[in-house]
Amino acid sequence: MARTPSFPPSVTLDRFDLAILAILQRDNSTPQRVIGEAVNLSAPAVQRRIKRMEEAGVISANVAVIDPLHVGQPLTIFVEVEVISETADLIDAAKREFTAAPEVQQCYYVTGEADFILIIVVPTMGDYEALTRRLFFGNNNVKRFRTFVAMDRVKVGLAVPLAR
């Protein structure tokens, strides 16, 4: 889902909320009773806090993190993409195209020499070549792209450091 950069509405998180988030980031399947015991709240209080944080967008998804190697997607590739024109319509079109490609795990619109950074997983270099033909060579607004193939997944995660 593409997001428009903006500051979220003010959500006040207290030490209980941050402690709950820390537990959920480690294991989202932790029972609310166990979370409550860890943070000294009742299970219903934990449930209300989680619901509030979901509604406020603090918790944006409840998902399983899958190791690509175990499902036949052993290659992780980072791609810098530079576009020719940065008009709003063309940038939005690129965002839609990159977002629609299932191989693209993450897409960032960035400052600097590159306009986008993509994180891609594919089974083979042949699959990556086919993807480059579709996403880059087939796009008249892509000026150039640079590919970096990961040799080792040293650290992978989306956990956000939480102030306490």
11-66 pLDDT, tens digit per residue, is: 899 999 999 999 999 999 999 999 999 999 999 999 999 999 999 999 999 998 89
Does pLDDT of 164 surpass 90? no
Q: How confident is the model at residue 163 (pLDDT cuts 50, 70, 90)?
A: confident
Does pLDDT of 109 surpass 60? yes
Q: What is the pLDDT of residues 67-95, one digit of tens each?
A: 999 999 999 999 999 999 999 999 999 99
Q: How confident is the model at residue 137 (pLDDT cuts 50, 70, 90)?
A: very high
How far apart (Å, rounded) are the C-alpha atoms in residues 75 and 73?
A: 6
The answer to whether the pTM exceeds 0.75 is: yes
Distance of alpha carbon 41 from the chain centroid: 30
How far apart (Å, rounded) are the C-alpha atoms in residues 76 and 78?
A: 7
Residue 123 backbone phi and psi in degrees, to 5: -75, -35
User: For residues 51, 54, 55 and 58, what is the CA-based torsion angle, rounded to 10 degrees?
Assistant: 130
Q: How confident is the model at residue 1 (pLDDT cuts 50, 70, 90)?
A: very low
| 32 membership: H or E segment, kind and range | helix 32-39
Ranges of beta strands (E only) in the chain are 75-83, 104-109, 116-122, 142-149
Q: Please, are residues 30 and 21 in contact by the beta-carbon 8 Å criterion? A: no
